[in-house]
Structure 1
Amino acid sequence: MALFLFSVIWGVTFVAWILAFRLGLAWAQVKDVKLGRVLLTALAVLVGTKIVNLLFVQQLNKAREWAIVPEEVWPMIGDTLLVALFLATTWVLVSNLFQANWKQTFVASVPTFVPLIVIFVLLKYVAASLLFGTYQVGGCPMAPTLLGTHVQAICEECGARKYCLAPDKHLSEAFFQEQPMICENFHVTIGCLAPEYPLDGDHVFVSNLSEPKRWDIVLFRAPWDSSQRLVMRLVGLPGETISLEEGMVCVDGQVLEVPDHLQGLKYVDHWEDTNQSISFWGSPDRPAQLGENEYFVLGDFSSQAYDSRFWSKALPGHAPYALPRSEIIGVVSEIYWPPTRWRSFP
């Protein structure tokens, strides 16, 4: 749904931009205007610059820990870079493809600002709150399904790719040799070779119209910090008693059958310490009783996920392990970036 709505908005904007650009060329009295050149300019401005912007912003994100820039300024950098790319690409193409002077180039580009402003407002303020939004995954509690900045290797058990969260700073090879990793078949193994550099995380569409259901991946505000956004898999519904036994989810004492795409996924229900077994919410001896409009969420990489099992702070009137419906923003529907990770979720 989110991908469809996004495509419709961009499709309408693409047509509107072409019409505005054609009007601008006529207004600037540019001669020998051919449809092919107009379409080429539209594709380069609306599609090409967006891809280049994503690549640049990902490189800038890697420099955060070394840059002396306030954290709240980083989103503005991406928006500013995108606007600059739009303007530069439009002016260069108009000047070269249509043999226009600087005055004609400027006049021809002025009408194109209108559809760009409209789509910015629609995507940033209207669609994001009412229809759908986007989110960049920040960690790896949902690996291998969703990845933040990560390290990749090959699973010794099945040969599939395996993943773990990339550290903020370069660490020794010994660190990676002891790091738990999870593969695409949900095998958890230990260690890999120290990578030369980390890989970028996923960008996803989030549908605000979809009503959350069991096994959905949801984006939500952390109950202990409303400014923090997290993604987890929803496994427990209002009114249910949730427990984890032998890696499976039990609802009111009955083992749930997982969907086909999650076959092999096992959830950790206790820790074995040197002296004792440590239990947490949802373990057999501490089941989670959900109230009205409360949900229980887990990370697919459950040995590395800070999910409902471990929460200690709760919103007023709710249990510590409960995710209130009011804090759920939407349902993750697709990975749209990077292209090699594109995936639609059932």
Structure 2
Amino acid sequence: MDFALILFVLSIVSGILWCYDVFRARKQRPKGSPDPWWVEYGASFFPVILPIFMLRSFWIEPFRIPSGSMIPTLQVGDFILVNKYAYGVRLPVLNKKIIAVGEPQRGDVMVFRYPHDMRQDYIKRVIGLPGDRIEYIDKRLTINGQALPVIPQGDYLIPRSFDVFQKFEEDVLGNKHMLLNNRDAQPFVPEQLLVPHEYSANCTHSRQGVSCRVPEGHYFVMGDNRDQSADSRVWGFVPDANIVGRAFFIWFHADQILPPSGVDFGRVGSFH
């Protein structure tokens, strides 16, 4: 069940009980008498639940990284903070934008609801904005005809699988970040893995890669672990209505493969 919906319902129920207690029931109780059960287990939680609900709905929300699609930027087990205000104020639960504040920029690490299953939250890097022409051919990224420069950074050992991938620094039109490529992986997406979507006609797939025109109101996203990421190359574009916010800080890391407790405080901090 959606945690935001749970918080919303709890806030409404406890708020009603709190208002009833403060403005009516409390005045009718004998002085010095104990609070009834519905105050102790209902109304008393309202001053605690409401700030959490407001903070999580309109400003900061925590998430945990469950997969390796964003390695090396984010590792499995990272606990991150997401700025929900960065891309506009949205109504809780409905996720409808009511106040425009900012828009996703190329290179942002963005959390969004997976277009084919709104119950799932995904995190990827924004590569293409509405109207952009995105080409990923032979593992080289081009935006609107401009090939993005990449600088080799040597080999990178994947912590969980112990696979060795090639590491590069990529410059997404001014936003630099690290990415991984698997030497043995093909540059194209196998046809059986492609997920049909509303704008499938905007993309052309070949043995060399994929070329897409990003439709209005949508974004093209990719994982930094390029050959181990199911992203816009596979299932299409991210609608603006699905956006949750911009990831910006790792506040904790816990992973079962790390000795002795799986906690790594060296991961804590901001990231690009």
Relative to 1, partners in 2 of residues 1:285 and 1:244: Cα closer, same or farther, differing over 3 Å?
A: closer
Superposed displacement of residue 120, structure 1:
4.3
1:223 and 2:140 are equivalent in the alignment? no
> Would you say the 8 A contact 1:134–1:205 is kept in 2?
yes
Q: Which runs of 5+ in 1 are unaligned?
A: 1-70, 77-113, 149-200, 312-320
Q: Which amino acid aligns with 2:111?
A: L
**RMSD of aligned Cα (Å):** 3.4
Deviations along 1:232-290, one digit per CA (max 9) or x if unpaired, are: 111111101101134332112211343475256559772498xx9x9986765641111
Query: TM-score, normalized by length of structure 2?
Result: 0.54
For residues 243 and 225 of structure 2, the distance between their equivalents in structure 1, rounded to whole angstroms, comes to 21
For residues 189 and 119 of structure 2, the distance between their equivalents in structure 1, rounded to whole angstroms, comes to 33
Determine the structure 2 residue equivalent to 1:206.
Answer: 82
1:122 and 2:51 are equivalent in the alignment? yes
For residues 245 and 291 of structure 1, the distance between their equivalents in structure 2, rounded to whole angstroms, comes to 20
Q: Which amino acid aligns with 1:129?
A: S
> Would you say the 8 A contact 1:245–1:269 is kept in 2?
no
Deviations along 1:176-208, one digit per CA (max 9) or x if unpaired, are: xxxxxxxxxxxxxxxxxxxxxxxxx01100001
Superposed displacement of residue 72, structure 1:
8.8
SS at match of 1:126: helix
Q: 2:248 aligns with which of 333, 337, 346?
A: 333
- Of all paired residues, the percent bearing the same amino acid is 27
Query: TM-score, normalized by length of structure 1?
Result: 0.43
Q: Which has the higher strand share?
A: 2
> Would you say the 8 A contact 1:135–1:203 is kept in 2?
yes
Determine the structure 1 residue equivalent to 2:75.
Answer: 147
Determine the structure 2 residue equivalent to 1:254.
Answer: 146
Determine the structure 2 residue equivalent to 1:322.
Answer: 237
For these two proteins, the number of residue pairs brought into alignment is: 172
Q: How does 1:163-202 map to 2 (within 5 A)?
A: 201-202=77-78
Q: Which has the higher helix share?
A: 1
Relative to 1, partners in 2 of residues 1:116 and 1:325: Cα closer, same or farther, differing over 3 Å?
A: same
For residues 80 and 132 of structure 2, the distance between their equivalents in structure 1, rounded to whole angstroms, comes to 29
Determine the structure 2 residue equivalent to 1:166.
Answer: none
Q: Which runs of 5+ in 2 are unaligned?
A: 7-42, 87-102, 150-169, 195-202, 254-264
Relative to 1, partners in 2 of residues 1:289 and 1:228: Cα closer, same or farther, differing over 3 Å?
A: same
1:243 and 2:138 are equivalent in the alignment? no
For residues 222 and 56 of structure 2, the distance between their equivalents in structure 1, rounded to whole angstroms, comes to 25
Relative to 1, partners in 2 of residues 1:72 and 1:127: Cα closer, same or farther, differing over 3 Å?
A: closer
Determine the structure 2 residue equivalent to 1:292.
Answer: 216
Determine the structure 1 residue equivalent to 2:66.
Answer: 138
Higher mean alpha-carbon deviation, 279-288 vs 239-248, is at 279-288
Determine the structure 2 residue equivalent to 1:310.
Answer: 234
For residues 108 and 228 of structure 2, the distance between their equivalents in structure 1, rounded to whole angstroms, comes to 19
Deviations along 1:121-151, one digit per CA (max 9) or x if unpaired, are: 322x111111111101111111121122xxx
> Would you say the 8 A contact 1:244–1:269 is kept in 2?
no
